Amino acid sequence: MSLEAVRKKIDEIDDEMRILFEKRMDCVKEIIEYKYSNHEEIFDPAREAQMIKNNTQKLRNPYYQDGYEKMLRAMMDLSKDYQNGWLEQKKAGN
């Protein structure tokens, strides 16, 4: 396969990942709305640990485990940042 063909595949995967990211963030918004309404904490370390364990165990190529775990942690950090920003806006009356 040519370099251009592989790059085209990566571009297509990136498009799919963007769509999935937006879907995930829509769910994150629903979660913060629920947590806010029910006076729950944003950070749930047990849930995060379980999510990482469950997802890394599903990898077909164990060589990718460290990178995949870093990506999951980065997504969770983005989610918490979004949720914290949402809370700040809510507290400010926006």
Reply yes or no on whether the pLDDT at 94 is more than 90. Answer: no
Report yes or no: 86 and 29 within 8 Å, Cβ to Cβ. yes
Question: Using CA atoms in the order 63, 56, 70, 82, what is the torsion angle rounded to 10 degrees?
Answer: 160
Residue-wise pLDDT for 45-88, tens only, equals 999 999 999 999 999 999 999 999 999 999 999 999 999 999 99
Q: What is the pLDDT of residue 1?
A: 87
* pLDDT (0 to 100) of residue 93: 85
Domains in the chain, ordered, with CATH?
3-91 (1.20.59.10)
Helix (H, G, I), strand (E, B) or coil at 59: coil
The confidence score (pLDDT) of residue 10 equals 98
The residues, any chain, with a CB within 8 Å of residue 78's CB and separated by 6 or more, are 25
Query: Number of C-alpha atoms within 13 angstroms, CB side, residue 50?
Result: 4
Q: What is the mean pLDDT of the chain?
A: 95
Q: Encoding tokens for residue 57?
A: 């165990």
DSSP code of residue 64: G
Residue 23 has a pLDDT of: 98
